């Protein structure tokens, strides 16, 4: 898990750090903070600076003030959608057994960039391919087909064909059974339980960790857990175990709160006098200094 984070390229790391900062009143991070965070994951200061400059040029980042960076217009739609995980109760309604469909048969598959963007958006919305070009999900999302259509439009680059989204009812019994089987519900439930146990076990020992290690591990664990939640298809009971998912969401929320505290301490250490750009001398490097 940590190895995967260590392989994350500088721009991806920067974007994920700023996504995490959205929970703060000031969602911007300074150069010193970003370079220090990059060093924590093995990225040289120059690599981070190049990534910052390129991300600003591409519109992924903006500089709201000198020496600070925040998410830019290119990143904002995805950031807003990803941030929905913090309000899970507002996402779903009771399921009446009907479906939402998206027909993407006319969207074409020759434009690889558009295809990748569409596939990612469909995954974020929990859509699964029922027949070639026809994607379904249970109609249990707040706002129904209209809200899904709006979210889909916001997640895709301008000019990308999103397909046609509509409510679908009166599936035959056989078709409804096939639709229910599009997702591996047992695997989803097992994933909820495994991540809940992993986060709970880490939180039990977090207070004894040095600050730098706690920051690395909380980021790696939190990144994976939040990604799991963001890409969860949000299936209704009885397709998944609702209570198991609620425990998973509660565990992610607890871990995120602790992780935010750890990173506030870590970033404060980076801002402290004597912490040079890219090579911070942190209190956590001393064995006796642990998270507070």
Question: pLDDT category, 121, cuts 50, 70, 90?
Answer: very high
Confidence band (pLDDT; 50, 70, 90) for 281?
Answer: very low
Say how far apart CA 25 and CA 108 lie, in whole Å: 42
| Residue 278, pLDDT above cutoff 60 | no
Distance between CA atoms of 115 and 223, rounded to whole angstroms? Answer: 25
* CATH no. for 2-82: 1.10.10.10
10-14, 109-113, 191-195, 263-267: segment of lowest average pLDDT: 109-113
Rounded to an integer, the average pLDDT of 66-75 is: 92
Confidence class for position 24, pLDDT limits 50, 70, 90? low
- At 1, the pLDDT band (50, 70, 90 cuts) reads low
pLDDT score at 20: 84
Percent of the chain beyond pLDDT 70?
Answer: 88
111: left (phi over 0), alpha (psi -120 to 50) or beta: beta
What is the per-residue pLDDT for 5? 55
CB atoms near residue 7 (< 10 Å): 10
| pLDDT reported for residue 273 | 67
> What pLDDT sits at residue 275?
58
Worst-scoring range by mean pLDDT, 54-58, 103-107, 176-180, 254-258?
A: 103-107
User: 36: helix, coil or strand?
Assistant: helix
**Dihedral angle computed from the Cα positions of residues 241, 246, 247 and 249, in that order, rounded to the nearest 10 degrees:** 130
What is the percentage of the chain residues whose pLDDT exceeds 90?
69
Per residue in 161-219, pLDDT (tens digit) is 888 999 999 999 999 999 999 999 999 999 999 999 999 999 999 989 999 999 999 99
pLDDT tens column, 212-257: 999 999 999 999 999 999 999 999 999 999 999 999 999 999 999 9
List, as one string, the DSSP characters of 121-146.
Answer: HHHHTT-EEEETTEEEEES-BTTHHH
Tally of CB atoms within 10 A around 89: 8
Instruction: Check whether 287 has a pLDDT greater than 50.
Output: no
CB atoms within 10 A of CB 106: 9
Residue 288 reports pLDDT greater than 60: no
55, 100, 153, 166 from 108: Cα distances, Å: 29, 21, 16, 19
């Amino acid at each position: 898990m940590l190895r995967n984070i260590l392989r994350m390229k500088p721009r991806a790391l920067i974007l994920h750090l700023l996504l995490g900062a959205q929970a703060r009143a000031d969602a911007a991070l300074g150069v010193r903070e970003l370079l220090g965070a990059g060093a924590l994951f093995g990225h040289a200061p120059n690599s981070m600076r190049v990534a910052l400059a390129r991300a600003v040029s591409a519109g992924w980042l903006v500089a709201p003030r000198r020496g600070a960076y925040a998410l830019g217009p290119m990143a904002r739609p995805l950031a807003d959608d990803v941030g929905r995980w913090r309000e899970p109760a507002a996402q779903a309604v009771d399921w009446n057994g009907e479906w939402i469909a998206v027909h993407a048969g006319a969207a074409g598959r020759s434009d690889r960039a558009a295809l990748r963007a569409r596939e990612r958006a469909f995954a974020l919305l929990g859509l699964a391919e029922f027949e070639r070009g026809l994607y379904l999900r249970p109609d249990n999302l707040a706002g129904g087909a209209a809200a899904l259509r709006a979210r889909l439009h916001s997640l895709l680059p301008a000019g990308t064909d999103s397909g046609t989204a509509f409510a679908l009812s009166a599936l035959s019994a056989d078709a409804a059974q096939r639709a229910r089987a599009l997702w591996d519900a047992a695997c989803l439930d097992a994933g909820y339980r495994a991540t809940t146990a992993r986060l709970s076990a880490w939180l039990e020992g977090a207070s004894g960790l040095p600050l730098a290690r706690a920051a690395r591990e909380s980021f790696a664990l939190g990144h994976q857990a939040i990604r799991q939640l963001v890409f969860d298809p949000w299936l209704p009971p009885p397709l998944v175990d609702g209570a198991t998912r609620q425990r998973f969401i509660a565990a992610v929320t607890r871990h995120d709160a602790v992780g935010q505290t750890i990173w506030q301490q870590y970033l404060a250490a980076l801002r402290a006098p004597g912490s040079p750009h890219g090579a911070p001398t942190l209190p956590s490097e001393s064995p006796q200094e642990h998270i507070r």
